[in-house]
Amino acid sequence: MRRIVRGAIGVLEERRRLDERTSPATKAALRMLFLEYRRLARAGALPSLWDTGLRVFSQFDEDGTILCLVAAAERGPERVLDLGAGNGVQASNVANLILNFGYDGVLIDGEPERIAWAERFYARHPDTKERPPRIVESFLTRENVNDVVRAAGLEGEVDVLSIDVDGNDYWLWEALECVQPRFVVVEAHPELGLDDYVAPYDPEFVWSHSNGARGGASVTAMLALGERLGYRAVGSNRYGFNLFFARNDVAPAVPAIPHGELLARAGLSV
Query: Per residue in 124-141, pLDDT tens?
Result: 999 999 999 999 999 999
- Residue-wise DSSP of 91-145: T-SSHHHHHHH--EEEEEES-HHHHHHHHHHHHHSTTTTTSPPEEEE----TTTH
Query: Per residue in 66-104, pLDDT tens?
Result: 999 999 998 999 999 999 999 999 999 999 999 999 999
What's the rounded mean pLDDT across residues 239-248?
A: 97
Q: Give the three-class secondary structure for 221.
A: helix
The one-letter code for the residue type at 249 is D
Per-residue pLDDT, 213: 63
Run of H or E residues at 161: strand 156-163
pLDDT band at 188 (very low <50, low <70, confident <90, very high): very high
How far, in Å, CA of 209 to CA of 213, rounded?
9
Q: 261 or 209, which is more confident?
A: 261
For the cut 90, the answer to whether the pLDDT of residue 211 exceeds it is: no
For the cut 60, the answer to whether the pLDDT of residue 110 exceeds it is: yes
- Between the alpha carbon of residue 263 and those of residues 100, 105, 219, 228, 245, the distances in Å are 32, 31, 7, 18, 14
Q: 166 or 113, which is more confident?
A: 113
For the cut 90, the answer to whether the pLDDT of residue 54 exceeds it is: yes
Per-residue pLDDT, 9: 42
Per-residue pLDDT, 12: 44
| Percent of the chain topping pLDDT 90 | 86
pTM greater than the 0.85 cutoff? yes
Per-residue pLDDT, 210: 56
How far, in Å, CA of 4 to CA of 127, rounded?
30
Per-residue pLDDT, 206: 80
Per-residue pLDDT, 94: 98
| Percent of the chain topping pLDDT 70 | 91
Dihedral sign computed on CA atoms, order 245, 63, 38, 99: positive
Per-residue pLDDT, 17: 73
What's the rounded mean pLDDT across residues 220-224?
A: 97
Extents of the domains making up the chain: 2-265
Query: Per residue in 3-32, pLDDT tens?
Result: 654 554 444 456 667 879 999 999 999 999
* 148-149-154-155 Cα dihedral, nearest 10 degrees: -110
The one-letter code for the residue type at 12 is L
Residue (of 37, 64, 40) closest to 52 by Cα position: 64
Neighbours of 148 (CB within 10 A): 19
Exposed (0-12), middle (13-18) or buried (19+): which is 253, by Cβ within 10 Å?
middle
Task: Report the CATH architecture of 2-265.
Answer: 3-Layer(aba) Sandwich (3.40)
Per-residue pLDDT, 76: 96
How far, in Å, CA of 107 to CA of 81, rounded?
6
Per-residue pLDDT, 208: 59
- In what order do the strands lie in the sheet containing 156-163? 134-137, 104-109, 79-83, 156-163, 179-187, 242-247, 231-236
End-to-end distance of the chain based on CA atoms, in angstroms?
56
Run of H or E residues at 175: helix 169-175
